[in-house]
């Protein structure tokens, strides 16, 4: 039976959740082999997200989270010599794309069957303002590299994250809407807070996932204070050292308003924390969609977004909260408005939900029957 290789050395965040989603679709028509690191294969994230995924093999062929492009191409070629590899999927291919057009030709030389190469570009700006020169240059450079790789036959399909409002197809890079999934819901907030030992009578505002300075917990805490609500900030996920240092420097009154759950959280536990809060502010300058925004939207928790055109458009299309400026006053006012909303008021959602299956099929470039579609065909 033909084999699909999935290349993902890095288990951080919820990358292995995406691997599980892609493996589920690929596994409908092929065997699936995961190429990763020994550390990742033995880690907690693997047990949480991939324990039930049916792999033909899990190969710990890499010794670092971000292996050189040559090493990735060589590992794929080695597998192609041993197995009937139909497709190889690079789950985070932005760095590899830079030299793939050259490296892959050399490493794949002499293979009886060259694999169909699929690249997921996690930092490709799908929709941009043409007045934003920096983002425009990034898109042009990635687009040119993608076309070169397509033209010389070293890549057959490329995809990139798109906002949940973006129903367009994409030309060079296929747009894959970030899934909108949460296994818990805000209707069960009281029970979830009791289970998670969160205060029952406070407004809770949450920042989730990998929490670094870029997610601006300092600004969000200030926004809560400015808003005048009787609320606290919840930080749940991997809290980076810079944020720990910030927490240590807070005065006693401010520190008492921050609830910290630092460490790896399974998808189930993370979802429960998201559903347990009253609002999810995302004050982050970022060119792509937010997985946490998708979780909050699916859980019926309003989002306050600042710093992203992609999220701003999605907010309007999905009616999942409010947009704000990147100031404590603007974010605080938006938080106050969304937590005072009627939770039973209907949402004016103008787009269908973004599912894990849709995302995986667009990423792989296959239709509902597993057949290669459009420009993805070899």
Q: Name 340's Cβ contacts closer than 8 Å, sequence gap at least 6.
A: none
Is-contact 166 159, C-beta < 8 A? no
Note whether 3-179+355-376 and 186-339 share their fold: yes
User: What would be the CATH architecture of the domain defined by 186-339?
Assistant: 3-Layer(aba) Sandwich (3.40)
User: Which residues lie across from 304 on neighbouring strands?
Assistant: 281, 322
pLDDT of residue 190: 97
Instruction: Delimit the domains of the chain by residue range.
Output: 3-179+355-376, 186-339
Output the CA torsion 55→60→61→66 (10° steps). 110
Question: What is the rounded CA–CA span in Å between residue 10 and residue 236?
Answer: 20
Asked whether the beta carbons of 104 and 154 are under 8 A apart, the reply is yes
The Cα 79–Cα 84 span in angstroms is 8
pTM of the model: 0.85
Rounded to 10 deg, the angle between the 217-227 and 328-339 helix axes is 60
- In CATH, the architecture of 3-179+355-376 is 3-Layer(aba) Sandwich (3.40)
Task: List average pLDDT for each run of 10 residues in the chain, which is 378 residues long.
Answer: 96 88 96 97 91 95 96 98 97 94 95 95 67 66 86 92 76 84 95 98 96 97 96 96 98 97 93 98 84 93 92 88 96 96 80 89 88 61
Residue 177 pLDDT = 87
d(CA 355, CA 54): 21
- Contact at 8 Å (CB) between 134 and 148? no
């Amino acid at each position: 039976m033909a084999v699909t290789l999935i290349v993902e050395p890095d288990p951080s965040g919820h990358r292995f959740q995406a691997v599980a989603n892609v493996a589920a679709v690929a596994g409908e028509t092929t065997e699936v082999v995961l190429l990763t690191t020994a550390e990742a294969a033995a880690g907690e994230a693997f047990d949480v997200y991939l324990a039930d995924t049916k792999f033909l093999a899990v190969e710990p062929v890499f010794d670092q989270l971000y292996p050189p492009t040559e090493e990735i191409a060589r590992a794929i070629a080695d597998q192609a010599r041993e197995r009937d590899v139909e497709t190889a999927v690079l789950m985070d291919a932005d760095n590899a794309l830079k030299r793939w057009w050259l490296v892959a030709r050399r490493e794949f030389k002499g293979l009886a069957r060259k694999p169909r190469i699929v690249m997921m570009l996690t930092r490709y700006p799908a929709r941009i303002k043409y007045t934003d020169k920096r983002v425009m240059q990034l898109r042009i450079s990635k687009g040119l590299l993608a076309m070169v790789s397509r033209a010389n036959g070293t890549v057959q399909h490329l995809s990139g994250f798109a906002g949940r409002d973006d129903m367009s197809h994409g030309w060079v890079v296929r747009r894959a809407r970030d899934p909108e999934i949460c296994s818990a819901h805000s209707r069960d907030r009281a029970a979830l807070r009791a289970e998670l030992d969160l205060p029952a009578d406070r407004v809770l505002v949450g920042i989730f996932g990998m929490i670094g300075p870029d997610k601006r917990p300092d600004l969000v805490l200030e926004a809560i204070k400015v808003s005048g609500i009787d609320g606290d900030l919840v930080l749940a996920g991997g809290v980076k050292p810079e944020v720990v240092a910030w927490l240590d420097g807070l005065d006693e009154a401010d520190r008492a308003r921050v609830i910290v759950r630092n460490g790896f959280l399974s998808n189930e536990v993370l979802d429960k924390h998201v559903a347990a809060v009253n609002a999810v502010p995302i004050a982050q300058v970022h060119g792509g969609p937010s997985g946490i925004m998708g979780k909050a939207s699916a859980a019926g928790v309003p989002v306050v977004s600042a710093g992203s055109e992609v999220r701003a458009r999605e907010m309007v299309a999905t009616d999942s909260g409010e947009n704000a400026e990147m100031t404590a006053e603007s974010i605080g006012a938006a938080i106050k408005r969304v937590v005072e909303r009627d939770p039973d008021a209907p949402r004016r959602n103008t787009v269908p939900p973004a599912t894990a299956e849709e995302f995986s099929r667009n990423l792989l470039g296959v239709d509902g029957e597993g057949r290669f579609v459009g420009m993805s065909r070899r």
